[in-house]
Amino acid sequence: MDPSRRIYVLGLGSIGRLIAYGLRTAPDVPSISVILRNETQAANFTSAGSTIGVITRDDAGTIQTDYASGFEAIALPRCRGRDIRDLVVCTKSTQVVSALSALKESISVRSNILLLQNGMGIHGELAKLWPLGEENERPSIYIGINTHGCTMPPESGECLVEHRGVGTIEIAKMLWDTITSQPNDEKGDDDTYMLTELTKSSLLHANCVSCTDVLKAQIDKMIVNCCINPLTAFYNVPNGAVATSPQLRNASALVIAEAVAVLSQIPELRNQLSDAARKVIFNSARLREVVLAVAMTTRFNVSSMRADVLAQRGVSEIANLNGYIREAGERLGIDTPANSVLADAIEVLASGEMASERRAIVESVLGIDCSALDRELYHDCI
């Protein structure tokens, strides 16, 4: 291991904490810096011991907390002048571009950046940070699809994450010129320092896959999030309701049909996938089964979007999920009423209450019978 190398983790939400802990407890114990928004957050992390704890529960419900220490905490403004070679971005999708813009002076063509966000469109946004004419300065961009289930417990003064479900992280290198690229089934460069350390972690189960594989996983996850996140946030229900309620299953089917119609026609995706891959990936019946399976597997969980709405944070990832489907549909001339109405609804709910008349419009578009839905949800609770 090169002792001078350091991996930076941007964002200490639940995924950021799991990634930082997983890297720090890998066999080589790499040097890890966690990048926090401001000096106060960095100071608080340091004063709490610069540790991250991972909480797990066994089948009997016994709780265990394991800690990793030795992290460097650095405020985002203080990264200027650093040579950031390896960066894992764990912020919400809405924060990626602004955060990387602040780090641009520390990023070079030698840098490797791994993005671990929900939704689509982020890769295209990064092209605005490194536009044509700056090709020689562009870093290598990797997309990671995380299926680990984790959540942050109530604030206790410690930096903790509860690891609720063991998953995987599939990683592929993305091509900058996606519009003209050909189908790419080559695996990413798994010999970069960051990827080597990620794949060594026994906790993270990370592996490098082909671009086709990661696009399939990315589209599957996006479809899952387009259904589970806004529906659970709008109705304030756990994930499992999307599988057990016929009303919400039908609403999910509408969202999926629109998403397939749009995503299957986006040039950036079409040009990176073979005809055979597109037939598998954009199969609506398969995607409905994927959504139901995830909803049942995580049936007791609170979706991140539901948590954002309950906390009235004023922002959510809806713009990179249903909002992305709406905007791409507009460009392609494809109507997306279900995704559009959910995108509008969550934007309103993230900042406050929604008038009953507007809720009625949402339910009309989704084909929701409120009385039937109430009976279904009540039945699930008894």
Domain coordinates of the chain in residue numbers? 6-209, 213-381
150 beta partners: 163
Say what percent of the chain tops pLDDT 70: 92
Q: Which residues of 173-209 are buried (b: 16+ CB within 10 A; e: fewer)?
A: bbbbebeeeebbeebbebebbbbbbbbbbebbbbbbb
Residues found in the chain: 382
213-381: CATH class? mainly alpha
* pLDDT for residue 382: 40
**Over residues 76-100, mean pLDDT:** 93
Residue of higher predicted confidence among 204 and 313: 204
182 — pLDDT class (breaks 50, 70, 90)? very low
Question: What are 312-368's pLDDT values in tens digits?
Answer: 877 678 988 999 999 999 999 999 999 999 999 999 998 787 888 888 999 999 999
* pLDDT for residue 212: 87
3 — pLDDT class (breaks 50, 70, 90)? low
Question: What are 22-72's pLDDT values in tens digits?
Answer: 999 999 899 999 999 999 999 999 999 999 999 998 888 889 999 999 999
Task: Give the count of alpha carbons within 13 A of 52, CB side only.
Answer: 27
Q: Is the pLDDT of residue 172 over 60?
A: yes
Domains 6-209 and 213-381 share a fold: no
6-209: CATH class? alpha beta
4 — pLDDT class (breaks 50, 70, 90)? low
A 10 A CB-CB count for 311 gives 9
| Contact by Cβ (8 Å): 259, 334 | no
Task: Give the count of alpha carbons within 13 A of 377, CB side only.
Answer: 18
Residue ranges of alpha helices (H) inside 187-264 are: 193-200, 211-235, 241-244, 246-263
Question: What are 274-300's pLDDT values in tens digits?
Answer: 899 999 999 999 999 999 999 998 888
Say what percent of the chain tops pLDDT 90: 62
* pLDDT for residue 298: 86
